[in-house]
Every structure is written in C-alpha cells, then in structure tokens.
A and B are shown apart, each in its own frame.
Chain A
C-alpha cells in the first residue's frame, strides 16, 4: 500500500495521459466539455476534503472560493482588455493568481472563525458566498449582475481546439491536487489534521498547534478551489454571478467526498467519478433540476446509511476497519513482546 510519492506521481501522470489519449480517440469535443466538468469536481472535492475530511471542518462556501478564482481571471481579462489575453498571460499564471486570491480569503476567514467551534466556521463560509456574490453583483468592472463575456481563443498551437487545452490544464491540476492530498495524508501535517478531527481538545493539550494546522488546511483548500475556478470563464464563455455562485458547486464538493469516503485521497476521486458521471447522464437524459435533487437525496442517504462512504463499504466487505486504509499506524497493544 505504501507507494512513494514520485512513483505515485508517475502513476497518476500515466493515468492522466491514458485519459487524455482516450478522450482524443473518441474524437468528439463533447467528451472534453463533459470531462472538464468532472475533472473540475475532482479538484473541488479533493480540496474540500483536505479541510473537511482530514480536519473535520465543514466548508459550505466552495462556490465562493471557486467564483473568486473565476472572477480574478475576469478582472485580469478586463484589466488587460484585449482579446489576446491568453497570449500575454498564460493560463497557468491565471490559475496561480486565482489560487492566491482564494487562498488569502480562506486564510482570513479561517483566522476570524477557526478559533471558535466548528459550527461557526461552517456558518461563516455559508454566509461568505452570499456576501461575495453581493460584492460581485455591485462591481461593474467585472460585469456586475449583467455578467461578463469572455472570448475563447479558437486554437492553441500543438494541442488543437481550446477546449482540449482547458481539459489538459484541468487534468494536470487534478493530478496535482491528488498528489498534494496524498502527500498531506502521509506527512506530519496529515497526522496533525487527523488529531484535530478525532479530538481537538486532546490534540491541543498534547501540544499540537491546532490553529496553525487548521489555517494551513483552509489556505491550501481555498487555493486549490480558486485554481479550479480560474479557467472557468474561458470554459463557459459568459460568466454570471448567480450561476458562478450556484449552490450546485457547494453541494457537489461536499457530496462527492462524503459519498466516496473522507479519510483518504481515493474517496473524493471515487465519489466524483460516480456522482459526476451520474450527473452528466442525468442532465442529458432527464433534466438538470432533477439531477440536483438526485445529488441531495444520495448525499442524505449516504451520510445516514454509509457514514464512511464507498471506501467504508469496501472495507467492511474485507473485514477491515476503514481507518487502516488511511495509513494511520495502529499500535497493537496485545502484540507479542509489547509492554501493556
């Protein structure tokens, strides 16, 4: 089970290359449009899980962090003004800016509310979405309530159509976020996060710097969400506050990790692939409102019936505790030779 990080990165990149090659092989641009959304949710749910799953702090404001990333791209677009923005500022730089903006907001939010009980942080993130939306609606520079049009460039050298390029960028970001999540999980940081989740008071008493760790988690999580949002204006073409701050981002980025399993990096990935594909199918065959209802119902059923998600189900099937999967070392007190 212990694969070293460089090897893990190589495996992930190989899998990503396989996904990209497969998508190209289908030869239809729709695959890229649908795939982009799923990849975007891989990043969002992994980012949510770093704070929610590892530390146990619920963030309802995924949409706000995502929108911050998207609107920082719009702001740069308006600032430079020209349609040739992608030629001057490459997409990775835009993502970096979006990530920094969201990360800073995440840090500020966390600093104000994380010293209190977890519920306050959750409520504050929920309210953050409303307030940021108010600010954006009143900020005419980025389009206000009317929204902003972004012209998507036609072609990208070497790769082809722009959506292919966006797909590739998001694929790499998804790989990056999975590697980060796994790295955190197996590091001192991850063990610190786990102590906060299990018993914050005991952790604090044992000398774990809980506030510092929580702030690190909030910042990383917020930054990744912002990075996922930065390319979004180019994907959608017309950015509007009410859709960018939509509740579906918030509910999906919570539902996906909880359905997959929150204690490991695999959980959000599994949850996203399951729920994301289901939604793509439901949107096409039924309607987008029904598919949101579906997500809500699946979320509620899962948290009641299968608290540890798909991973939990798999592991009860194998007669092991899901906690073993996290990589937390369990001390066998009754092992031969150990002193009780």
Chain B
C-alpha cells in the first residue's frame, strides 16, 4: 500500500470527529458507571432508543434531530430516574447489585432491542437534515458536516456537564455521593435522591447521543451492541468518572479506529476498543486521568 500523507491526516481528523461523538456516548456511562458505580450496560440500548425518537419525529414532523433530542431529554431523564428507583429498591438496598443488578440491566438491554426489532424491523433507518449532505474542504482536509456537527454539539454537552458537576450544588453533591454517602447524609442531603438525579442525567445524555448516532450513520436496533465494548473501554481508559479523561480517551480510540479502518479495512475496527480495554485493565486500571 502506498503511504499517503493526505490519507493519514484525513484519517486522523475523521478519528477526532468520531471521537467527539464517542465522548457524548461515553459521558452517560462516565456518570453512571464511573461516578455512581452502577454498571448500566443497557446504556447503548437507551442511545438506540434516542436514535429512534429522533427518527420518528424527523420522518413525521421534519424537525431537526438534535433539536428533537434536546426536547426529549426530560422524558429520558424521567425514564432514567424511574429505572434507578427500581434498581435501588430491588438491588442496591438488598446488596445484590453485582449479580442480579447486572442481569437486570442486561434484561433491559435485551427487552429494548427486541421491542425495537418487533416494532420497526431490522431495516436501517436514517434522518434528514440540511447538514447531512455537504462537506467542508480545507486544503486536503475533508470534513463532512454530518460528523462535524455532532462532534461540536457533543463537546458543548460535555463542557456543560462538567460545569454542572463542578460549579453547582447538585453537581458537587453528585461527585460527593461517589466518595462518602454518610457525609452527604450528615449535610442533610438524601444520597438516594442525588443518585436518582445523576442517573436521570446519565440516561438523558443518551437522547442526544442517539440523535448524533443517527446523523452519523443509519441505525438499526442491534447497532447499539457494537458500542458496549467501545463505551466501557473509553470510560475505563479515560479514568472512571472523569469527563475530560473520557474526551481524551474517546479521541484516542476514535483516531486509532479510524487509522485501522483506513489502512487495514473497516471490518477490523471493532477489535480496537477491546484491545485498548484489555491493555488498560492489565497495565493501568485507573485510566489516564483516574482518581
């Protein structure tokens, strides 16, 4: 294969763009798995749900998918808060989160996916928006807007989340609940309420991530499964619960995946994140910016 500089630089740029999207996908898991210690493996299924919400509204009313996703976040928040309440009462309270709690989320993943298959079939669905077709050319660089827009909005979302977590009372309480629940209780804050809010926010981000996903590529119900390994790999690599770490890790995995699919073929890309995951777990389990 002839090594071409243009090819390389384009692969890196598209890796960064897709990395921005991965960061949005991971931010929810960083909250639930990283901070709250809830292994929500159903998160990718909620993202697919977000994609389908964007698809339904877009195909019937023609509203922009990102706008739809923003409008839909309260609904996803309520869904997340509800799921946490069930999880808390059935598993956390009884101290059974490790085995049965995991099985619970696995069941949710399964139910969501199969329900979508039953209702929509396994056809690929896509959305229409003005920025999906065109591409910006900067010198030799190609930047398709359907990649650029999700990347930029996703970085904005993460910046907002980080601001909430570090500057607001609720955000600081969320960070505190991960460290010491008893201390939180002594401050007259209900840790369960804080966790419910945090988990609600975590699922709410899935609404946006879902919209980004369906802008970037056509979606069918089982697409979410490809993201499970990737999302947790990014979360662990970045350092549990660290949003800036997640962004760096997401870009890194995005770039390596993009290089792999450019120079070895796209069918090898899914193996990249797993390699990263195993490597991180074996060498530095705390991740890049771990606590």
Residues 244-291 (chain B) with a chain A CB within 8 angstroms: 265, 267-268, 270-271, 273-275, 277-278, 281-282, 285
Minimum CB–CB distance for A166 against chain B, Å:
28
Given A112-B282, A119-B39, A307-B96, A138:B106 Cβ within 8 A: no
- Chain A residue, CB-CB nearest to B104: A303
With a 10 A CB-CB cut-off, give which of B110, B273, B281, B285 has the most chain A CB atoms: B110
Q: Is B114 interfacial (CB 8 A cutoff)? A: yes
Contacts of B96 in A (CB 8 A): 307
Give the number of residues in B that approach A within 8 Å (Cβ atoms): 45
Do A303 and B90 touch (CB < 8 A)? yes
What is the predominant secondary structure among interface residues of chain B facing chain A?
helix
Stretch in A3-11, A146-154, A156-164, A289-297 with 4+ CB within 8 Å of B: A289-297
Q: Is B188 interfacial (CB 8 A cutoff)? A: no
Q: Is A184 interfacial (CB 8 A cutoff)? A: no
Minimum CB–CB distance for B29 against chain A, Å:
10
Do B106 and A60 touch (CB < 8 A)? yes
Q: Is B228 interfacial (CB 8 A cutoff)? A: yes
Contacts of A290 in B (CB 8 A): 118
Given A289-B118, A293-B118, A134:B268 Cβ within 8 A: yes
Q: Is A52 interfacial (CB 8 A cutoff)? A: yes
Given A126-B41, A138-B268, A56:B99 Cβ within 8 A: yes
Minimum CB–CB distance for A96 against chain B, Å:
27
Q: Is B163 interfacial (CB 8 A cutoff)? A: no
Do B274 and A130 touch (CB < 8 A)? yes
Do A292 and B271 touch (CB < 8 A)? no
Q: Is A89 interfacial (CB 8 A cutoff)? A: no
Minimum CB–CB distance for A113 against chain B, Å:
5
Minimum CB–CB distance for B78 against chain A, Å:
19
Residue of A124, A135, A254 touching B106 (CB-CB under 8 A): A254
11 contacts between A and B (CB under 8 A): A113-B281, A119-B33, A123-B232, A124-B281, A126-B41, A130-B225, A254-B103, A293-B114, A299-B106, A300-B107, A307-B94
- Across the A-B interface, the 5 shortest Cβ-Cβ residue pairs: A127-B229, A296-B110, A300-B107, A131-B274, A296-B111
